[in-house]
Amino acid sequence: MADDRERAEILVTGVHKRINDAFQVFDHDLNKTVDVREIGAIVRSLGCFPTEAELLDIIDEVEEPNGFICFERFLPTMSKILMENKFRPIPEDTLLKAFEVLDQQKKGHLEPNELTEYMRQGDEPFTQLEMEEMLSSAVEPDSNLIYYKDFVNMMVLDGER
């Protein structure tokens, strides 16, 4: 029984660390708050892909009256989402295939403007902020290209491979 409890504690600790790390990336003032507009990027960076309506439900649950999200309110909500495997992440091979479809010349990379154009299409296009956040982590600074195999590896949660 103690082993199960230890494993559960280790799992919860790992989930909390991942949530904290993702939150800190967007906590520009280092005050344990983020702008409500950044929650979509944080949730997606944790490998969850809710619809826009589902994302609004999450925001309704954790948003403070001032338009910010406090880490203390976000942590339990996001922990529950991750522990219950809600908004299941897209499998690595599916993400890779999607990028390969976009890479019609099979170069192994996309240019930022190509990806931006695709991100503006579809039923739920990315917001400008979401595009900027994604590109900031996807674009290789030296070449100004998106090597999507590397990007997919970075996006996929270790536990989901």
pLDDT in tens, 37-79: 999 989 988 888 888 889 999 999 999 989 899 999 999 999 9
Three-state SS for 74? helix
pLDDT digits (tens, 9 = 90+) for 137-153: 889 999 999 998 988 88
Three-state SS for 128? helix
Quote the pLDDT of residue 158.
Answer: 43
User: How would residue 129 be classed by pLDDT, with cut points 50, 70 and 90?
Assistant: confident
Q: What is the average pLDDT score of the chain?
A: 86
Three-state SS for 67? coil
User: Quick one: which H or E segment has residue 33?
Assistant: strand 33-35
Three-state SS for 69? strand
Q: Mean per-residue pLDDT for 12-35?
A: 92
Asked if the model's pLDDT at residue 25 lies above 60, the reply is yes
- Model's pTM, two decimal places? 0.58
The answer to whether the CB of 43 falls within 8 A of the CB of 102 is no
The answer to whether the CB of 58 falls within 8 A of the CB of 75 is no
For tokens 């507009």, the residue is 37
Quote the pLDDT of residue 89.
Answer: 65
According to DSSP H, which parts of the chain are helical? Answer: 2-26, 39-45, 52-62, 71-83, 92-102, 112-119, 128-138, 148-155
> What are the φ and ψ backbone dihedral angles of 147, each rounded to 5 degrees?
-85, 95
Quote the pLDDT of residue 160.
Answer: 45
Asked if the model's pLDDT at residue 2 lies above 70, the reply is no
Quote the pLDDT of residue 150.
Answer: 87
Q: Mean per-residue pLDDT for 110-119?
A: 90
